[in-house]
Structure formats: structure tokens, C-alpha cells
Amino acid sequence: MYLFVTEEPQNLCGQCFERSCPPVSLSGPIRIVKVGPIDEKTDWQEALQGIDIVIHLAARAHIINETIPNPEAEFIKVNTQGTANLVEQSIQAGVKHFIFVSSIHAMAAESDNILNENSPCHPDSPYGRSKLQAEQALINLAKDSNMTWTILRPTLVYGLGNRANMERLMKLIKRGLPLPFGALKNRRSFVFVGNLVAAIITCLDHPNAANQIFLISDNQAVSTPQLIRLIAQQIQQPCQLLPVPTTLLRFLGYLGDTIESITGKNLPFNTYSIDRLLGSLTVNSSHIQKTLDWQPTFTLEQGLAQTIQPEN
């Protein structure tokens, strides 16, 4: 089995494949390609020769405080058109199976409902829309070919080397000041990179993975206060949470936006960061568990331990 994995330099999953990190166990050769700019003109033909399965990880991720004039067009160019181009060339090269690591943002960034594969898709960001359009391009292009596909929609991915969201909370906890998140009742699903890689590996040769969409998570949903307490335990720091009303927190976000627009400086609090702390986004990943007999290897607590402790 010859694998072709696209990744960007800081791509967590690609690093796991490259280092054969647990729970990765593969007997066949892997060709990992760290890519630069991707668009509809990227030439993949030489790299795809003799490849059985493509695992497409590379993408333009969401960027906080975007500065380019038309970010939506850039997301479409890289994530949608770039993926469609890779799919077309994969079909031409005789690739048998195409695994596309999409995102839960193809469905929504926030939702009060528990999402599953049958939930309607209402992406509310340029990133999410570009991912959904890439999924649709893959399905449409592959339907008249011999190439099967699998689409994975992971929730927020975390792990060593990608702990930006955890890092912000860690810094707040380490200051030793009371945090105003005690009243939050939201729920969010996460996925440790080790669990995501294990899901990808399962999809490589499982016959029931063909032409399926799967939501991937750690199978645990936690509130922001619960997540803060778990992180505090890992870094062995006391943590005090105050029950501040959410309306006041949202006002703080608007205030941060105003200060950023005046000063041009990025603040740790703005509407984007506050919304992520207040909002809910949970998924039901039972479809992949039942269809492929897959279970997450790591619990949220175990994933956090591997994410946080090595750098403390």
C-alpha cells in the first residue's frame, strides 16, 4: 500500500505519520509532501505516480485578524480549487482511495444542537464554506471514476505542536487571577491528534469507509470551566472561576474589538475569542464507531497530558 500525504510544515497529523507516533502502525511506504501554495494549477502528477491512497491534510486554516483584502477568495483558491485539482489528478493517476480531512466548520462553528452526519451544513465562515465546497467537489468528481473517497470532519484538533487554544487558557491560569468563566454552561467537542490519526489509519483499508462522511471527536464534550480545570490540573496551578454574566463577557469582546481597531494591536480578548469561550459545538461520532468499529484511543484527559506536560 503506497500512501501520499499532503501536509503543511506545522501539520500535526503529518508529523505523526512522519514519526510513526502511536497509535500509527503502517507496513507500507508513506510519501509525505510538505507543500507550499496550493491552487488549481499545482502539478501533482509526478508525486502521485504509483500511489494507492491519498490523504489530503494540507489547507489554509482560519487566521485570526485576517489582513488580506479578500480572504474568502483565498480560502476558495487553496481549500476548494486546490483540493479539486488534487482530486482530478489523483483520478488520472489511478489512485484507488482519497481521504479528505475536512473540518467540522464545514457544518458550523457553533451550534446548540449535537451534530451528526445527517445534520444540515450551514458554514458561517470563509474557511468553513471553502471546506464544504471542497467536499462537494470531491464527491462530484469521484462519482464517475473508480476512485472511492472518505471525508473526515474533525472537531477542534489539539496536540503537542498545536496547542494555541490551550496556550491562551494556560497563560490566563498561570497569572493566578480569578477567571470570569464560572457561569458558562456551554459544551464543546475536541479531538486529540492521536485519535484523529487512528481514525485516518482505520479508513485506509476498511471496506465500509468507502464513500462515507465521518465526524471525529474524543467522544467527550466539556464546558469551558471544565476545560480550564482540566488544564489547571495538568500544569498544577490553582484555578478560581467567578460566575460573571455572559452579557458582560460579550461586552468585553466588543470593547476589545474597538481597542484593536484604534491601536492596531491584537488583544487576548475580542469578539472572536469570547465567542469561542462562550459558544457550544458538540458532535455525535457514533457513526464511525459503529461503521468501522473505531474507538478513540485517548481520553480528553490523556490527550491534554500529552499536549501540555512535555513543554512544562
Q: Which residues are designated catalytic?
A: 127
273 Cβ contact list (under 8 Å, min separation 6): 168, 253, 256
CB within 8 Å of 244: residues ≥ 6 apart: 180, 181, 182, 183
Distance of alpha carbon 151 from the chain centroid = 13
Nearest-CA neighbor of 148 among 57, 54, 288, 29? 54
Neighbours of 133 (CB within 10 A): 19
Q: How far apart are CA 54 and CA 77, in angstroms?
A: 20
Say if strands 188-192 and 221-222 run parallel, antiparallel, or are unpaired.
Answer: antiparallel
Max CA distance (Å), the chain: 59
